Amino acid sequence: MTAPKLRLGVNIDHVATVRNARGGDNPDPVRAALMAEAAGADGITAHLREDRRHIVDADIDGLMAALTTPLNFEMAATAEMQAIALRHKPHAVCLVPEKREERTTEGGLDVAANDNALAAYIAPLAAAGSRVSMFIAADRAQVDACVRIGAPVIELHAGAYADAWAEERWDDRDVELAKITDMAAYAHDQGLEVHVGHGLTYDSVGPIAALPTVAELNIGHFIIGEAIFRGLGPAIEEMRRCMDEARG
Ligand code: PXP
């Protein structure tokens, strides 16, 4: 198949992490999001966690008011977050599992075990016009459950692949890449739009970006870290270059 242009969603959560380390207003995630758009981001991703450890409600207000590209609003499937999403009606809502004690989003959402509840949960979000995406492991039962509940988009969790790459466990990396490759193709065949995210870097992004069944990557922590050395615009431009090079 001919691969469509791969979109880059830039996750700006960790601009807020740095801000919150001191309190106050700096650095401003909304300013970062506007710079990301100027540097070629196709969308902005922000995760409003239950504990507000990085992004806070006012950031979502600011992003909704200022962005010219789509906001991908990541959230846990709680009543509080559903009400916030229904108030803002972002372009996309990505449902993620959330545990208070975790450092970051550790696993995928278990859609297969909660399909009835999730089908009811996403219905009003879809009716409000948000494209609902489910952040899941590259697992066939999870993809099938997403089809069953009528979610139009999935995001495959790249964490295990990224960790294997970072720790130079090449056999594990290849196993994880094969799982993502297979499930991206399977989900695409089922009519789902496929995104991939978590832990991607300049080194690890290529094999994922090369998959023609993947439409979007969401990348945050590495880009924000790299921005310390290169500046945010150049850090994003280099990610875009790595993606385009791999896509051919
Ligand atoms: N996609 C989802 C669903 C996520 O939860 C995260 C992390 O918040 C990302 C993408 C971005 O991951 P990273 O910050 O490791 O690039």
Q: How far away, in angstroms, is 218 Cα from ligand 1 center?
A: 6
CB 53 within 8 A of CB 20: yes
Identify the pLDDT of residue 100: 67
* This prediction's pTM: 0.96
Any domain includes 191:
yes
Identify the pLDDT of residue 101: 67
Q: How many residues does the chain have?
A: 248
Number of domains the chain is built from:
1
Q: How far apart are CA 141 and CA 202, in angstroms?
A: 30
Any domain includes 170:
yes
Q: How far away, in angstroms, is 136 Cα from ligand 1 center?
A: 12
**Residue 27: is the preceding peptide bond cis (ω within 30°)?**
yes
Average pLDDT, the chain: 96
Any domain includes 27:
yes
CB 75 within 8 A of CB 47: yes
Identify the pLDDT of residue 18: 97
The residue contributing the CA closest to ligand 1 atom 12 is: 198
The token pair at 70 is 């789509």
Q: How far apart are CA 112 and CA 148, in angstroms?
A: 9
The token pair at 188 is 């695409």
The phi, psi pair for 245, rounded to 5°, reads: -60, -45
Any domain includes 1:
no
Any domain includes 185:
yes
Q: How far apart are CA 105 and CA 117, in angstroms?
A: 21
CB 217 within 8 A of CB 211: no
Atom of ligand 1 nearest to the CA of 218: 10
Ligand 1 pocket, residue 96 CB under 6 Å: yes
Amino acid occupying residue 34: L
Identify the pLDDT of residue 46: 98
Atom of ligand 1 nearest to the CA of 221: 14
* Nearest-5° Cα angle at 156, 232 to 117: 120
Which single residue is written with the structure tokens 């909704």? 64
Any domain includes 220:
yes
Q: How far away, in angstroms, is 87 Cα from ligand 1 center?
A: 23
Residue 54 CB neighbours (<10 A): 23
Any domain includes 110:
yes
Q: How far away, in angstroms, is 106 Cα from ligand 1 center?
A: 10
Region at 198 (left for phi over 0; alpha for psi -120 to 50; beta for the rest)? left
Structural domain of 24: 7-247
Identify the pLDDT of residue 1: 67
Identify the pLDDT of residue 3: 75
Atom of ligand 1 nearest to the CA of 135: 3
The CATH number that applies at residue 238 is 3.20.20.70
Any domain includes 198:
yes
**Residues designated catalytic:** 47, 74, 198
Q: pLDDT (tens digit, 0 to 9) for every residue of the chain, 248 residues total?
A: 667 789 999 999 999 999 999 999 999 999 999 999 999 999 999 999 999 999 999 999 999 999 999 999 999 999 999 999 999 999 999 999 987 667 777 789 999 999 999 999 999 999 999 999 999 999 999 999 999 999 999 999 999 999 999 999 999 999 999 999 999 999 999 999 999 999 999 999 999 999 999 999 999 999 999 999 999 999 999 999 999 999 98
